[in-house]
Structures are given as C-alpha cells and as structure tokens.
C-alpha cells in the first residue's frame, strides 16, 4: 500500500529533497563498492510503458568499448517484460557478482553489473510487490540514484518531462560531475529517435536545458513500435544483432544514447562526434568484443579471477 500511495501522490509531488533523502537512506543501507575509478552509469527509470528493447544496456556495451568504465545497476523487470538483469542473463552474463568480482570486471572488461537485489538486500522484500503492482513507484526514480559504485558520470532517462531538471539537481547533489537527464517527448526514458528529447546537461556543478531531435544528427525519425522489445531472449537477440552491425531504427536509438554516453565521458567533443564514434565502435566489432569478454569473465570461478 505504501508503494502504491507513493506512486499516486499526484505523480508530480515528489520533491528533490524527498528523492535525495530516500536515495541517501538506500545508499546507507546498501553494500558499497569503492571502485577508485571515475565510473559511468547509463540507466532509465522505466515506468514509461514503451516496452522498448534494452537500449541502455546495449548502449552501455558500446560506451565500454570506447574506454569508459561502466557500472550498470539494475534489476529484473518490474513493469515490463525485460529489465537489465533479464537481458544480460539471456545474453549469457552471470549477473550475481561479488564486489571483488565487479572490480575485476571493471578493470578487465570495462563494464560490470550490480544486481540491485544483491547490493540493496532490503529490496528483495519489495521486488515481488513491485512486480505484482505492475506500475511505477518511487523506486523507479530511486534505483538509478543508488548505484553501489557511486558514479561520477551518468546518463539518466526519466518517464516524465517534469522530472528532468529536478533530477539533474539531485544528481549534482549526489556527486555527479558530468551527465545528462533526458526525456524522449513521446514518453520514452531514453534519448529518442521517435520525437524530440528534453535534455538537462550537467557539468561540474551547473546544468543547462535544451532540446535535441534525431534529424539534427542525420538520423531518421521512427515510431515507438519500431523500438519494441519482447521477452529477455528476444531482447538479447536484438542486442546481438545491433552489436553485429545490423542497421535500422534500433541501432539508431543505440547510437544516440551511446553517443551521448561517450560525450559525457569525454571521449567525444560533442554529441555528434559521440554518435559517429559509437557507430565506429559497433562496426569495428569492439562493442561485441566487450560483450564476449563480459560473458567470459563473469562466468569464471571466483578464485580464477
């Protein structure tokens, strides 16, 4: 009942203080991982009812191929068929990793995954309730703010335009130095190829808001249906197809989001350059190689790491 009440508080009632307070409390009760690295997180709140494939997860692999240290933090699906954990597991990644193994993955592969239930142990008790409710709750917002690796760079997609600037302020308060909070204006918690995207860019304590369109970057606009995913197995196949060079609207969505990631990480001077670099990382096979290495290292026995 508490989760439902939070979700129906006239959806616009969450304040930055409430969100930051909840995030701080969750961080205090989580297993923390001091990576000693400038790690990056790309994540969406979910709750947008778009049922798209795993855009952020696929984009994370491309960002890692570009030399970024990517610490993904996520869970199984709550209001969709396939969350980050489901997709990675379907790809063959062992998602249950100790902090020590996650450090190994960051160093050796450039990417690790913090399975939320393993690091926020109290969340095990609400996961089933969230799944049963089937609609967004305050945890859609809190999950992306409570990464155990404490990222200093972040691309955060949100489910409503009203959250863009407030969550940019929350990220600054939580120590993020470079980042973007984005909302695809056709109700997508990613940088969109179906509509303009509202962006609030963070850089060293300040932020600025603007709007981008796919056409600005030579990308053809598509419909939400073109980005639909499905089961974990179906979404894993989509990710594999993109990493193996398949062209189309789904690849374009990854280029936009991976390109923004590379720009945030200082690997590109502009979003346009980041998008071009993302294409090169896919077409060269480097992004697919990151996935292969992630599968291999995550499935090693712990003592062999």
CA–CA distance from 105 to each of 43, 97, 116, 154, 286 (Å)? 19, 10, 17, 19, 16
pLDDT, mean of residues 14-19: 74
SS3 99: helix
- pLDDT of residue 97 exceeding 50: yes
* Model pLDDT, residue 303: 62
Q: pLDDT tens, 143-177?
A: 889 999 999 999 999 999 999 999 999 999 889 99
Residues 6+ apart with CB under 8 A from 63: 40, 42, 70, 258, 261, 262, 265
CA distance 221 to 191: 12
Looking only at the bridges linking them, the beta strands covering 206-212 and 197-203 are antiparallel
Structure tokens at 143: 């999950």
Task: Look at residue 138 and tell me whether its pLDDT is greater than 80.
Answer: no
d(Cα 254, Cα 46) in Å, to the nearest integer?
16
Q: Are 232 and 82 in contact (CB under 8 A)?
A: yes
Instruction: From 25, 23, 135, select the one nearest 80 (Cα to Cα).
Output: 135
Q: H or E element: which one contains 209?
A: strand 206-212
Give Cβ neighbours of residue 61 (< 8 Å, ≥ 6 apart): 111, 239, 243, 287, 290, 291, 294
Of 281, 292, 279, the C-alpha closest to 111 is 292
Closest CA to 144 of 185, 110, 180: 180
The arithmetic mean of pLDDT across residues 265-284, rounded, is 99
- 247: exposed, middle or buried (C-beta count within 10 Å: 0-12, 13-18, 19+)? exposed
Cβ-proximal residues to 187 (8 Å cutoff; 6+ apart), any chain = 48, 49, 50, 159
The residues with which 203 forms a beta bridge, in sequence order, are 178, 206
Alpha carbons 50 and 65: distance in angstroms, whole number: 27
β-partners of residue 111 are 70
The CATH number of 2-296, from 3.30.43.10, 3.40.1030.10, 3.30.420.40, 3.30.2270.10, is: 3.40.1030.10
Taking the alpha carbons of 260, 224, 5, 137 in that order, is the dihedral positive or negative?
negative
Q: Encode pLDDT of 103-136 as tens digits.
A: 999 999 999 999 988 888 766 656 565 566 565 6
Strand 153-157 relative to strand 178-184, pairing: parallel
pLDDT in tens, 185-243: 999 999 999 999 999 999 999 999 999 999 999 999 999 999 999 999 999 999 999 99
C-alpha 116/C-alpha 118 separation (Å) is 5
- 263, 273 in Cβ contact below 8 A? yes
Instruction: Check the CA dihedral 170-227-61-88 and report its sign.
Output: positive
Residue, of 44 and 178, whose pLDDT is higher = 178
């Amino acid at each position: 009942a508490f989760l439902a009440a939070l979700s129906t508080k006239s959806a616009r009632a969450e304040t930055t203080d409430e969100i930051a307070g909840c995030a701080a409390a969750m961080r205090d009760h989580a297993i923390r991982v001091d990576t000693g690295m400038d790690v990056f997180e790309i994540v969406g709140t979910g709750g947008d009812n778009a049922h798209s494939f795993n855009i952020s997860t696929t984009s994370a692999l491309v960002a890692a191929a570009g030399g970024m240290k990517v610490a993904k933090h996520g869970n199984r699906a709550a209001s969709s068929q396939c969350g980050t954990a489901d997709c990675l597991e379907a790809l063959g990644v062992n998602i249950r990793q100790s902090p020590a193994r996650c450090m190994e993955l960051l160093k050796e592969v450039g990417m690790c995954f913090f399975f939320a239930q393993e690091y926020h142990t109290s969340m095990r008790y609400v996961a089933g309730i969230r799944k049963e409710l089937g609609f967004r709750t305050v945890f859609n917002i809190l999950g992306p703010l409570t990464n155990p690796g404490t990222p200093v760079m972040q691309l955060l997609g949100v489910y409503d335009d009203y959250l863009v600037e407030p969550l940019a302020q929350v990220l600054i308060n939580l120590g993020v130095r470079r980042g973007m909070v984005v909302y695809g204006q056709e109700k997508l918690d990613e940088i969109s190829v179906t509509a303009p995207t509202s962006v609030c860019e963070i850089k060293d304590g300040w932020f600025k808001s603007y709007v981008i369109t796919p056409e600005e970057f030579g990308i053809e606009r598509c419909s939400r249906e073109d980005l639909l995913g499905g089961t974990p197995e179906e979404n894993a196949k989509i990710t594999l197809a993109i990493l193996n060079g398949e062209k189309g609207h789904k690849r374009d969505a990854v280029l936009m989001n991976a390109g923004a990631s590379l720009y945030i990480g200082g690997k590109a001077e502009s979003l346009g350059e980041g998008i071009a670099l993302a294409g090169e990382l896919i077409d060269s096979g480097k992004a697919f190689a990151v996935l292969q290495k992630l599968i291999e290292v995550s499935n090693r026995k712990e003592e062999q790491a």
